[in-house]
Amino acid sequence: MAKALIIGAGIGGIATALRLKKKGYQVTVLEANGYAGGKLHAIDLDGYRFDLGPSLFTMPNLVAELFELYDLKTEDYFQFSRKEILCNYFWEDGKRFSVPASTLDFIKNAAQEFKEDKSQIADYLKNSKDKYDLTSRLFLENSLHKINTYLSSDTLKAIVNISKLDTDTSLDAVNKKAFKNPKLVQLFNRYATYNGSSPYKTPGIMSMIPHLEMYFGTYYPKGGMHEISQSLYRLAVQKGVVFKFNEKVEKIIVENKKATGVISEKDTYEADLVVSNMDIYPTYTKLLKTELQPTKILKQERSSSALIFYWGISKEFPELDLHNILFSESYEKEFKAIFEDKTLYQDPTVYINITSKEDTNDAPKGHENWFVMINAPGNYEQDWETLVVNAREHIMAKISNILKVDLASLITAEHILTPEGIESSTSSYRGALYGAASNNKFSAFLRHPNFTRKIKNLYFCGGSVHPGGGIPLCLLSAKIVGDLVPDLK
């Protein structure tokens, strides 16, 4: 039986393992950490459960596909529920707005709350859908680096409608053209953070992102985000995929321009193909040191990272839900600080995720588990100790002011994750959450492909390569690799 080796047991690596196993390969996954899931990890702390990584779950169909691949009913292995409130938004002046799952309700409520024309909001959301429909098959579901991708009606349609894609203007400009109210502009500008970019730099085509959330919906997986990776890991083990934990890969073996295996710190493995789920930067600079390096790709600007405080809170807040945003008063200055000055802004936008709203077992009775995150620059050897102390003070002050509470007196447990910590625990170059940033109109084409023409039988999946970062795109990268790899059955 042909052997496939996968480096890294992140969500992309697990999904790729399932797809290659189905194709008839004997699959082994080597993981440096002692657990599966990569960034989709979790901890228990003083009676609180915290998801450490991604906190937003959209497009559950991409997870369901992997169970259906084996003719299994997803609900027997993995359960999730759709949220009726997508997100609660808060501003310093006391303004609050809840985004309902119903698009019609959102249009009506947003028009009323922000004094905007309903038809204008409806047109914006239609344009968001049109952009997604025009480009999803081209940019998200296929390899951009195969000629067949461009010999299709989907590509022709996208080219004919190129003017509708807003590739020559920024997301902020698109939003300011659509809306008069700066708060609604800020609400839609936030979607740039879904791929770790700045709304003032990322192209207007990214206004398709709201469609993923508002049309397809947001969900909560029973057991938390961690259960996404764990349910797929259990399925992979059940189907015969072998996982070797605490086994760091040191080199990809290349002979006659063909990947033939890997060398780990414990053993040498032969394989008919190798898939790297590791960040593309260390894949080349550490595992392929003697091979020709894709210099331009490796020099690309990295996406934003995150500073996350995991707080046990000894109070319940009925005004908060699973997803909550407390906006900065100067979004533009915040993104300048992150991407240009490589530092944290003194008035950051604060995201609060509370899974105990969905599962009361995640916190002691009368308490809540707060995942409190701000966007941060990557790790450029800043003085993180000082930055964290200052950020903690600013974040607590902001939350205390908006929610009218003395937050410091309510914190009963704390864990902190910095960009430096993200880099060391996940091998994400500079702690970038999404690999390369999408701060220019060519970013989709500049990501490393899911294969390389220079080395046969070597493939790439995960958030640092095509089509991008985040759970849905990582799962799509696995699907693309599965389509590229020959079927043995």
Residue 2 lies in a domain: no
> Tens of pLDDT along 202-257?
999 899 999 989 989 999 999 999 999 999 999 999 999 999 999 999 999 999 99
Residue with tokens 């040498």: 268
Largest CA distance in the chain: 66
Cα 222 from Cα 359, distance rounded (Å): 8
pTM equals 0.94
Overall number of domains in the chain? 1
Percent of the chain with pLDDT over 70: 93
Where do the DSSP E strands lie in 159-237?
Answer: 218-221
466 within a domain of the structure (yes/no):
no
Instruction: Report yes or no on 53 lying in a domain.
Output: no
Mean pLDDT of the 271-299 span:
96
Average pLDDT over residues 283-288: 98
Asked, for residue 181, whether it belongs to a domain, the answer is yes
pLDDT given at position 34: 97
Residue 194 in domain? yes
Cα(428)–Cα(417) distance, integer angstroms: 14
Cα separation values, 48 from 104, 315, 370, 399, 443, Å: 37, 13, 9, 20, 39
Supply the pLDDT for residue 441: 73
Average pLDDT (84-101) is 97
Q: Tell me if 297 is assigned to some domain.
A: no
pLDDT band at residue 294, thresholds of 50, 70 and 90? Answer: very high
pLDDT of residue 139 exceeding 70, the answer is no
- Classify 78 as helix, strand or coil: coil
- The yes-or-no verdict on residue 431 having pLDDT over 90 is yes
In a domain, 437, yes or no: no
Task: Tell me the average pLDDT across 4-33.
Answer: 98
How far is 18 from 25, CA to CA, in rounded Å? 10
E strands present in 83-130: 85-90, 96-100
Going by DSSP bridges, is the β-strand pair 458-460/323-326 parallel, antiparallel, or unpaired? unpaired
Q: What angle do CA 186, 343, 422 make, to 5 degrees?
A: 95
pLDDT confidence of residue 439: 87
**DSSP assignment of 10-69:** BHHHHHHHHHHHHTT-EEEEE-SSSSSBTTS-EEEETTEEEE-S---EE-THHHHHHHHT
Average pLDDT over residues 425-454: 88
Contact 373, 308 (CB under 8 A): yes
Q: Which domain holds residue 197?
A: 102-216
Q: What amino acid occupies position 433?
A: L
- Flag whether pLDDT at 72 surpasses 60: yes
Q: Is residue 163 part of a domain?
A: yes
Cβ(200)–Cβ(170) below 8 Å: yes
Residue 210 has, within 13 A of its CA and on its CB side, a CA count of: 28
Q: Which residues are within 8 A (CB) of 10 and not within 5 positions of it... i.e. 6 or more apart?
A: 37, 38, 39, 40, 229, 277, 426, 462, 463, 474
Place of tokens 């952009």: 131
Q: What is the mean pLDDT of residues 256-267?
A: 97
Looking at every residue in the chain, the average pLDDT score rounds to 93
How many degrees, rounded to 5, is the angle at CA 297 between CA 295 and CA 300?
Answer: 110
Q: Which of 9-23, 116-130, 202-216, 352-366 has the lowest mean pLDDT?
A: 202-216
Residue 149's pLDDT band (boundaries 50, 70, 90)?
very low
DSSP 8-state secondary structure symbol assigned to residue 6 = E
